[in-house]
Amino acid sequence: MPSEWDYIAWLRLRTPRYPRVILGPGDDCAVLEPPQRPLLVTTDMLMDGIDFVVAEVGPRRAGRKAMAANLSDIAAMAAVPVAAVVSVALPQRDGQLAEELYLGLRDIADRFHVPIVGGDTNSWPEKLVISVTVLGEATKHGVVRRDGAQVGDWLFVTGALGGSILGHHLDFTPRIQEALRLQECVAVHAMLDISDGLAADLNHICHESGCGAVLVAEAIPIAPAAIELSRTSHKPPLQHALEDGEDFELLFAVSPEDGAQLLHEPPFPGLYKIGECVSSGLWLEDSTGQRQPLAPRGWVHEFV
Amino acid sequence: MPSEWDYIAWLRLRTPRYPRVILGPGDDCAVLEPPQRPLLVTTDMLMDGIDFVVAEVGPRRAGRKAMAANLSDIAAMAAVPVAAVVSVALPQRDGQLAEELYLGLRDIADRFHVPIVGGDTNSWPEKLVISVTVLGEATKHGVVRRDGAQVGDWLFVTGALGGSILGHHLDFTPRIQEALRLQECVAVHAMLDISDGLAADLNHICHESGCGAVLVAEAIPIAPAAIELSRTSHKPPLQHALEDGEDFELLFAVSPEDGAQLLHEPPFPGLYKIGECVSSGLWLEDSTGQRQPLAPRGWVHEFV
């Protein structure tokens, strides 16, 4: 870990708000108090031109997205984020870009009290690359996986979907607090954060859990951005809600009893029941009760 | 973490040799048993054209270096590496490149029983980027920092230095076993792995510890590569040993009593006493006992 990044991080580390940090940057590794419960690790690399266009959105929003996407993976398993490390390849020796990027990373990390405990800052003649790794700790309830959905479970999402490319993919809030709150209220059988798109990610849960699912078309919350985008894309807003990626809302399955309780006393606003788990297949049910096969289309990772 | 990388890693995870891994790739995060002792985190990003030229060295050696450089940071603090995550941006949708890269990462990770528990595989139209994060756990002896060197301490290195650009910077072995062995034998006051170059990294220890140091020119072990390189560089081999970066040998300080014991009963081959800590300044002592100021020159990080 080179020193130039360390100096900035180190200053911000010297506060009493991060009791877990024993040693921050300045040595070869950061040192943290050992977690009491299982340790989670997630990593995501974001590249200029693929995950954002830095010339359009600026380094601050790019940095924010890189941190938020990783925090969202911690939320997906209903854990508590503990610390982050950040490696970057800067497109030039641009101190201001580095500072803006750092501020963006901090914008969202600070909100969840996650210290950036180390990093590696490089420059090169190519485009900006940001790689974030976030460590988390399980709660006393354990982690939520993708493979626990059961036939009959109700399916929920934590917010409106679609059209994230218009801005939400940069400015979303990882659903950490919502995930932790849910786990306190109910037994979450399976969960993930929607990054590939609702249909594709639902397929992941079904595949891992060995079940199918039916979504109720009218129950799917459609983001205003999906409607706006449909004007130029000439695709229906529902299709955007089903297939656009990077909503970063939680998709989860609970028992009908727990589901009814969530509807009766929502622990937070923006909770939508969108369907149920069935024995097999992916289905979309229209307003007449007719079921059509639902293609698990979504945002495809570049390297497939 | 996208699935395409996961499949490869997952296959290799399904072995009994990694008892700490509770959940590997396939969910949004990897989940590990919590360490009993302080948790170390280090991250390094390596880029094609900066840290290696992939067209010349191939993806396997590039991957190996990326993992080894991170393991070396764990060694520098005398800790045990526990797990790694890897993010890559591939220059094209090249499955063979990805596989070779992965094999290189595993070549060295396997040697130290470090599972790759997660990752993020991307492709883009730019050059190869590899970002590795390694988690470690302190031993019962605690971690070794850079700031504990004392006036009178003896300085050692674990191997010959200089000319790493001729190959050693790709093929070095992180000194994990040596660091752990040292900590069992003696009280290591300060340590790091030589990445910037002996003089520059010695300066880091002195700066952090608030002392100076004198190196004995004749005692510095010079790598054959430093001699080979001097033929074309027209710099003396000693200068290469002092200023070339990426040797990845350990530089450490111990009390004279512990130092004498190491010389009397070396716990492993290749241990060299190269100098002592003094109250201030960086000095190089020649064969006549004359001291000249030693410039802390070395490999300069790109972004300074």
Chain B residues touching residue A43 (CB < 8 angstroms): 1, 85-87, 118-120, 131, 133
**Are B77 and A31 in contact (CB < 8 Å)?**
yes
How many CB atoms sit inside 10 A of residue A78's CB?
A: 27
Q: Are residues B203 and B98 in the same domain?
A: no
How many CB atoms sit inside 10 A of residue A36's CB?
A: 10
* Residue A38 to chain B, least CA–CA distance (Å): 5
Label the pairing between strands B282-285 and B212-216: parallel
- How many domains are contained in chain A? 2
The tokens for B106 are 């595993």
Please name the member of A120, A123, A301 whose beta carbon is closest to the beta carbon of B2. A301
CATH of the domain at A205: 3.90.650.10
Instruction: Indicate the pLDDT class of residue A302, thresholds 50, 70 and 90.
Output: very low
**Are A32 and B39 in contact (CB < 8 Å)?**
yes
* Residue B217 to chain A, least CA–CA distance (Å): 27
Cβ contacts from A onto B, under 8 A: 246
- Taking the Cβ of residue B263 and every Cβ of chain A, the question of whether any pair is shorter than 8 Å is answered with no
The residues of chain B scoring below 70 in pLDDT are: 1-19, 23-26, 299-304
* Residue A287 to chain B, least CA–CA distance (Å): 34
- Chain A residue with minimum CA distance to B138: A31
**Sign of the four-CA dihedral B12, B14, B17, B18:** positive
pLDDT (0 to 100) of residue A197: 96
Q: Are residues A100 and A191 in the same domain?
A: no
Q: Are residues B50 and B102 in the same domain?
A: yes
pLDDT (0 to 100) of residue A96: 85
ipTM of the assembly?
0.91
Q: What is the pLDDT of residues A171-222, one digit of tens each?
A: 999 999 999 999 999 999 999 999 999 999 999 999 999 999 999 999 999 9
- Tell me the pTM: 0.92
- Taking the Cβ of residue A111 and every Cβ of chain B, the question of whether any pair is shorter than 8 Å is answered with no
pLDDT (0 to 100) of residue B3: 43
- Taking the Cβ of residue B139 and every Cβ of chain A, the question of whether any pair is shorter than 8 Å is answered with no
Q: Are residues A171 and A120 in the same domain?
A: no
- What backbone phi and psi angles, to 5 degrees, belong to B35? -70, 155
- Chain A residue with minimum CA distance to B2: A301
pLDDT (0 to 100) of residue A218: 97
pLDDT (0 to 100) of residue A6: 45
Q: Is residue A221 part of a domain?
A: yes
Partners of B84 in the beta sheet? Answer: B116, B134
CATH of the domain at A11: 3.30.1330.10
Report the mean per-residue pLDDT for chain A.
90
Q: Is residue A148 part of a domain?
A: no
Q: What is the pLDDT of residues A43-66, one digit of tens each?
A: 999 999 999 999 999 999 999 999
Tell whether the model's pLDDT for residue A299 goes beyond 70: no
Mutate to test the interface with A, among B5, B32, B39, B114 (most CBs of A within 10 A): B39
Are residues A247 and A194 in contact, defined by beta-carbon separation less than 8 angstroms? yes
pLDDT (0 to 100) of residue A24: 58
Q: Is residue B303 part of a domain?
A: no
pLDDT (0 to 100) of residue A298: 73
Q: Are residues B234 and B276 in the same domain?
A: yes
Tell whether the model's pLDDT for residue A7 goes beyond 70: no
Q: Are residues B181 and B111 in the same domain?
A: no
Domain with A242 in it: 154-293
Q: What is the pLDDT of residues A16-34, one digit of tens each?
A: 455 577 765 567 898 999 9
**Are A26 and B208 in contact (CB < 8 Å)?**
yes
pLDDT (0 to 100) of residue A22: 72
Q: Are residues B165 and B196 in the same domain?
A: yes
Are residues B185 and B230 in contact, defined by beta-carbon separation less than 8 angstroms? no
Q: Is residue A301 part of a domain?
A: no
Q: Is residue A179 part of a domain?
A: yes
Q: Is residue B143 part of a domain?
A: no
- Taking the Cβ of residue B120 and every Cβ of chain A, the question of whether any pair is shorter than 8 Å is answered with yes
